[in-house]
Amino acid sequence: MDRLVPLFVVLPLAGAFLVPLLAKLWRGLTDITANLVGAVLVGLSVYGLVHLATGSPAVVYKMGGWMPPLGITLVYDSLSALVVLITNLVGFPALLFSVRYLDKFTGRWRYYTLFMLLLAGMNGVAISGDMFNMFVFIEIAAIASYALVAFGTEAEELEAGFKYMVMGEIGGLAILFSIAMLYAKTSTLNMADMSQVLARMGQTPWFWLVLGPMLVGFAIKMAMVPFHSWLPDAHLSAPAPVSAMLSGVFIKVLGVYAMVRVVFNVFGLARATAPAFFNMLVGFGLVSIIAGGLLAITQKNYKRLLAYSTVSQVGYILLGFGIGNHWAIVGALFHMLAHAVTKGLLFLASRSVERQTGSREIGTIGGLEKSMPITAWSYILGSMSLAGVPPFAGFFSKLFIILGAVAAKMYWVAILAALFSTVTLGYLLKVINSVFFSRKGVEPTPAKESPPMMLLAMVMLVVLAFAFGVGFKPVLDWVVRPAAEVLFSGLAYARMVLGG
Amino acid sequence: MIPFLVCVLLFLFGLYAIVVKRNLIKMIIGFCFMEYAVNLFFAFAGFKREALAPIITDPDMARNFVDPLPQALVLTAIVIGLATTALMLALAMRIYAKYKTFDITEIRRLKG
For B54-87, write each residue's pLDDT tens digit: 777 777 777 778 888 888 999 999 999 999 999 9
* DSSP string computed for A95-132: HHHHHHHGGG-S-HHHHHHHHHHHHHHHHHHHHB-BHH
**CB-based contacts of A389, cutoff 8 Å, min separation 6:** A395, A425
Q: Is the pLDDT of residue A497 over 70?
A: yes
Partner residue opposite A159 with nearest CB, options B35, B83, B109: B109
Q: Which residue has the higher pLDDT, A463 or A388?
A: A463
What pLDDT does A440 receive?
A: 64
Confidence of residue B111 (pLDDT cuts 50, 70, 90): low
For B43-52, write each residue's pLDDT tens digit: 888 888 877 7
pTM across the whole model: 0.94
What pLDDT does B45 receive?
A: 86
What pLDDT does A26 receive?
A: 85
Q: Which residues pair with A59 in a beta bridge?
A: A76
Choose the mutation target among B10, B80, B99, B108 for the interface with A, i.e. most A CBs under 10 Å. Answer: B80
Partner residue opposite A159 with nearest CB, options B45, B73, B110: B110
Confidence of residue A391 (pLDDT cuts 50, 70, 90): confident
For A325-362, write each residue's pLDDT tens digit: 999 999 999 999 999 999 999 999 999 888 888 888 88
- pLDDT > 70: what percent of chain A? 99
**CB-based contacts of A157, cutoff 8 Å, min separation 6:** A149, A150, A151, A237, A238
For A254-300, write each residue's pLDDT tens digit: 999 999 999 999 998 888 888 999 999 999 999 999 999 999 998 88
What pLDDT does A396 receive?
A: 92
**CB-based contacts of A43, cutoff 8 Å, min separation 6:** none
- Rounded (10°) CA dihedral A398, A81, A198, B6: -90
Mean pLDDT (whole number) for A106-125: 93
What pLDDT does A364 receive?
A: 78
Confidence of residue A442 (pLDDT cuts 50, 70, 90): low
Instruction: Report the mean per-residue pLDDT for chain A.
Output: 90
**CB-based contacts of A115, cutoff 8 Å, min separation 6:** A34, A94, A95, A98, A144, A148, A241, A242, A245
CATH code assigned to B2-48+65-106 = 1.10.287.3510
Residue B103 gets which letter from DSSP? B
Taking CB atoms and an 8 Å limit, are A159 and B80 in contact across chains?
A: no
- Structural contact between residues A186 and A195, judged by C-beta atoms closer than 8 angstroms: no
What pLDDT does A441 receive?
A: 63
CA distances from A303 to A20, A276, A353, A419 (A): 31, 36, 11, 23
How many angstroms away from the CA of A359 is the closest CA of chain B?
Answer: 16
Q: Is the pLDDT of residue A377 over 80?
A: yes
Taking CB atoms and an 8 Å limit, are A170 and B15 in contact across chains?
A: yes
User: Which of the residue ranges A302-306, A378-382, A456-460, A493-497 would you say has the lowest mean pLDDT?
Assistant: A493-497
Partner residue opposite B31 with nearest CB, options A150, A169, A189: A169
Taking CB atoms and an 8 Å limit, are B84 and A162 in contact across chains?
A: no
For B4-56, write each residue's pLDDT tens digit: 899 999 999 999 999 999 999 999 999 999 999 999 999 888 888 877 777 77
Choose the mutation target among A177, A227, A310 for the interface with B, i.e. most B CBs under 10 Å. Answer: A177
| Helix/strand/coil percent split, chain B, to 5 | 70, 5, 30
- Structural contact between residues A180 and B41, judged by C-beta atoms closer than 8 angstroms: yes
Mean pLDDT (whole number) for A430-445: 77
Distance separating alpha carbons of residues A376 and A371, to the nearest angstrom: 9
Q: A143 contacts in B (CB within 8 Å)? A: 80, 83-84, 87
For A165-174, write each residue's pLDDT tens digit: 999 999 999 9
For A467-488, write each residue's pLDDT tens digit: 999 988 998 988 999 999 989 8
What pLDDT does A361 receive?
A: 82
